[in-house]
């Protein structure tokens, strides 16, 4: 009896709930951008060697909501041992200068507060890239520049 209960608990933790056909609960949401034949590529945002506590929330925004019809990506993930990695399937129009913003939400309130690191990058994406966040050095966090709360979209759309 005990073993059965334990097995069920482990199954729940492992995410057996996804069997109902829902998308995987990896924190990634992609909206907008009609499938009109535009070549689109995956984008991975990866953090490494970060001096942030395990469990720190990273909120990642891909794209610019005020650009009509642009495909947008959003994810909320935890930093684990100074690292994280999120892949946004087919989120980038090939070669476009896509806005990418990362907020380390230190107090986990979903809001950009003074003193919380905001990182931005707008380089073109063209070919299965990974954009890397590293511990800050010389004003940059790896591929990202230091941004401000003005770069973080507080009212990110859901559709
Ligand atoms: Ca915050």
> What would the pLDDT profile of 45-89 be if each residue is shown by its tens digit?
999 999 999 999 999 999 999 998 899 999 999 999 999 999 999
Q: Report pTM.
A: 0.82
Question: Any idea what the CATH number is for the domain that residue 79 is in?
Answer: 2.60.40
Residue 16 lies in a domain: no
Q: Tell me how far the alpha carbon of residue 104 lies from the centroid of ligand 1, in angstroms.
A: 8
d(CA 151, ligand 1 centre) in Å: 14
Please report whether residue 29 resides in a domain: no
* Ligand 1 geometric centre to CA of 31 (Å): 24
| Distance from residue 92's CA to the centre of ligand 1 (Å) | 27
Report CA(134)–ligand 1 centroid distance (Å).
20
Q: Is residue 28 part of a domain?
A: no
Q: What is the pLDDT of residues 86-122, one digit of tens each?
A: 999 999 988 888 999 999 999 999 999 999 999 999 9
CB contact burial 68-94 (16+ within 10 A = b; e otherwise): eebbbbbbbbebeebebebebebbbbe
Total of domains in the chain: 1
Do the domain assignments include residue 11? Answer: no
Domain ranges, residue 128: 39-151
Q: Is residue 67 part of a domain?
A: yes
């Amino acid at each position: 009896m005990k073993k059965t209960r334990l097995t069920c608990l482990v199954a729940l933790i492992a995410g057996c709930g996804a069997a109902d056909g829902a998308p995987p609960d990896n924190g990634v949401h992609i909206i907008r951008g009609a499938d009109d034949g535009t070549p689109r590529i995956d984008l991975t945002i990866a953090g490494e060697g970060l001096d942030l506590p395990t469990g720190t929330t990273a909120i990642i925004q891909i794209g610019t909501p005020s650009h009509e019809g642009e495909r947008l990506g959003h994810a909320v993930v935890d930093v684990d041992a100074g690292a994280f990695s999120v892949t946004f399937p087919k989120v980038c129009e090939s070669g476009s200068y896509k806005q990418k913003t990362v907020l380390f939400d230190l107090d986990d309130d979903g809001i950009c507060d003074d003193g919380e690191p905001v990182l931005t990058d707008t380089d073109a994406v063209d070919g299965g890239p990974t954009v890397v966040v590293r511990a800050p050095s010389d004003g940059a966090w790896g591929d990202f520049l230091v941004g401000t709360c003005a770069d973080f979209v507080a009212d990110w759309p859901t559709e």
